[in-house]
């Protein structure tokens, strides 16, 4: 009777595991498009659009003032440092999208390109000093591009996922970003790697090429560039674990409580029998 009850319990546990695996099977990987996606890739890179400033970027801002004589800006002379406070050096974009310019106040720059931010600062200083914006020589550049990143997500085979945040330099490919995280983890499936690219409206509507499958063997062993896609800001490079490891870890998590219960039950019965002898 004892042996039959244990066999019955194992059967129920196995049936439960199969049912759970069947339920999660459709979530292991997205539907991969057939063929190759027409997207920028190695040897066919594209230049990214003008940089748009966002928190927490760090900007290099330098300001000087041209001499003004009777309302006329004299650009034939060298510009002078700003007074009463010089503006030069790094300035971090705050969470509210502004940069602080000392005694002059703060200027909204988030959502602007570098040229637009330069014009915004010139207009702000012109209003503050009561001069034409053209009276100021302003230079704006990105010192640290903190807001343009991509993500490499590695599947731990049923024991969580690791998310690594990487900056974008404009020419990264899938091979570059995976190389930046020291390559594929030991549990990775080389047949289940893809780029999830966000759509313009936050979803795939109207954007059929949101999932870009990566042929790892072709890229690394054959030098095939067709799936070594260029990484864009916001891309998610997902590396799934081998299916056998996912199944094994799932079964271990499901069956471990059953083994503990059965072991405790068996130990309790043996203890009772030892006292009855």
The domain of 223 spans: 148-252
The answer as to whether 65 is a domain residue is yes
CA gap 127, 34 in Å, rounded: 58
Asked whether residue 62 falls in the same domain as residue 128, the answer is: yes
CA gap 12, 260 in Å, rounded: 15
Single out the residue in 94, 110, 144 at which a domain terminates.
Answer: 144
Asked whether residue 246 falls in the same domain as residue 153, the answer is: yes
The answer as to whether 41 is a domain residue is no
pLDDT in the model for residue 175: 97
pLDDT in the model for residue 9: 56
pLDDT in the model for residue 90: 98
Asked whether residue 126 falls in the same domain as residue 101, the answer is: yes
Single out the residue in 144, 168, 191 at which a domain terminates.
Answer: 144
Note whether 181 and 174 are within 8 A (CB): no
DSSP letter, residue 200: T
DSSP letter, residue 156: -
In sequence order, the 6+-apart residues with CB closer than 8 A to the CB of 131 are 68, 125
**Of 8-22, 156-170, 206-220, the least confident:** 8-22
Return the CATH number at 196. Answer: 3.10.560.10
Asked whether residue 236 falls in the same domain as residue 159, the answer is: yes
Q: Residue 234 region, left (φ>0) first, then alpha (ψ -120 to 50), else beta?
A: left
What are the tens digits of pLDDT across the range 223-240?
999 999 999 999 999 999
The answer as to whether 219 is a domain residue is yes
Asked whether residue 67 falls in the same domain as residue 127, the answer is: yes
164 has pLDDT over 50: yes
**Of 28-32, 37-41, 52-56, 149-153, the least confident:** 28-32
**Of 8-12, 29-33, 124-128, 252-256, the least confident:** 29-33
The answer as to whether 274 is a domain residue is no
Asked whether residue 103 falls in the same domain as residue 196, the answer is: no
182 has pLDDT over 50: yes
pLDDT in the model for residue 26: 40
Asked whether residue 165 falls in the same domain as residue 235, the answer is: yes
pLDDT in the model for residue 15: 54
pLDDT in the model for residue 49: 92
pLDDT in the model for residue 3: 54
Place of tokens 């920028």: 40
5 has pLDDT over 60: no
CA gap 153, 165 in Å, rounded: 9
CA gap 28, 189 in Å, rounded: 12
CA gap 191, 245 in Å, rounded: 14
For residues 169-175, average pLDDT: 94
The answer as to whether 122 is a domain residue is yes
pLDDT in the model for residue 54: 97
Return the CATH number at 129. Answer: 3.30.1950.10
Please list the residues that pair with 58 across neighbouring strands.
92, 144
The answer as to whether 45 is a domain residue is no
The answer as to whether 9 is a domain residue is no
Note whether 2 and 269 are within 8 A (CB): yes
Distances (CA, A) of 103 to 62, 86, 106: 15, 10, 9
Residue whose C-alpha is closest to residue 153's, from 234, 219, 209, 208: 234
pLDDT in the model for residue 273: 65
pLDDT in the model for residue 37: 79
Torsion 141-116-147-180 (CA) sign:
negative
For residues 69-88, average pLDDT: 86
Q: How confident is the model at residue 160 (pLDDT cuts 50, 70, 90)?
A: confident
DSSP letter, residue 201: T
Asked whether residue 115 falls in the same domain as residue 130, the answer is: yes
Selection from 67-71, 149-153, 242-246 with the highest mean pLDDT: 149-153
Asked whether residue 159 falls in the same domain as residue 76, the answer is: no
Place of tokens 């030098």: 223
Higher-scoring residue by pLDDT: 102, 37:
102
pLDDT in the model for residue 59: 98
Asked whether residue 203 falls in the same domain as residue 236, the answer is: yes
What are the tens digits of pLDDT across the range 88-147?
999 999 999 999 999 999 999 999 999 999 999 999 999 999 999 999 999 999 999 999
Note whether 167 and 148 are within 8 A (CB): yes
DSSP of 165-207, one letter per residue?
EEE--S--BHHHHHHHTTS--TTEEEEEEEEE---TTSSSTT-
261 has pLDDT over 70: no
Asked whether residue 119 falls in the same domain as residue 101, the answer is: yes
Number of domains in the chain: 2
Q: What is the mean pLDDT of the chain?
A: 84
Asked whether residue 159 falls in the same domain as residue 244, the answer is: yes
In sequence order, the 6+-apart residues with CB closer than 8 A to the CB of 1 are none
The answer as to whether 261 is a domain residue is no
Distances (CA, A) of 15 to 4, 27, 144: 16, 20, 54
């Amino acid at each position: 009777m004892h042996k039959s009850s244990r066999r019955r319990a194992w059967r129920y546990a196995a049936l439960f595991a199969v049912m759970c695996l069947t339920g999660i099977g459709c979530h292991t990987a997205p539907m991969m498009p057939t063929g190759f996606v027409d997207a920028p890739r190695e040897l066919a890179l594209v230049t990214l659009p003008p940089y748009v400033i966002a928190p927490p970027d760090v900007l290099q801002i330098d300001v000087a003032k041209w001499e003004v004589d009777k309302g006329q800006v004299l650009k034939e002379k060298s510009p002078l440092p700003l007074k009463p406070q010089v503006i030069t050096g790094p300035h971090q974009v705050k969470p509210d999208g502004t940069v602080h310019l000392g005694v002059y106040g703060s200027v909204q720059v988030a959502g602007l390109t570098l040229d637009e931010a330069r014009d915004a600062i010139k207009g702000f200083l012109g209003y503050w000093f009561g001069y034409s914006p053209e009276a100021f020589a302003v230079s704006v550049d990105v010192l640290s591009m903190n807001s343009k990143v991509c993500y490499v997500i590695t599947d731990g085979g049923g024991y969580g996922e690791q998310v690594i945040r990487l900056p974008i330099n404009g020419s990264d490919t899938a091979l570059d970003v995976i190389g930046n995280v020291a390559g594929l983890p030991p549990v990775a499936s080389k047949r289940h790697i893809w780029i999830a690219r966000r759509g313009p409206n936050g979803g795939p509507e109207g954007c059929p090429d949101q999932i870009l499958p990566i042929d790892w063997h072709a890229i690394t062993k054959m030098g095939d560039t067709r799936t070594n896609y260029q990484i864009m800001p916001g891309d998610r490079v997902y590396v799934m674990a081998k299916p056998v490891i996912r199944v094994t870890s799932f079964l271990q998590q499901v069956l471990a409580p059953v083994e503990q219960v059965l072991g405790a039950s068996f130990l309790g019965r043996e203890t009772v029998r030892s006292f009855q002898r």
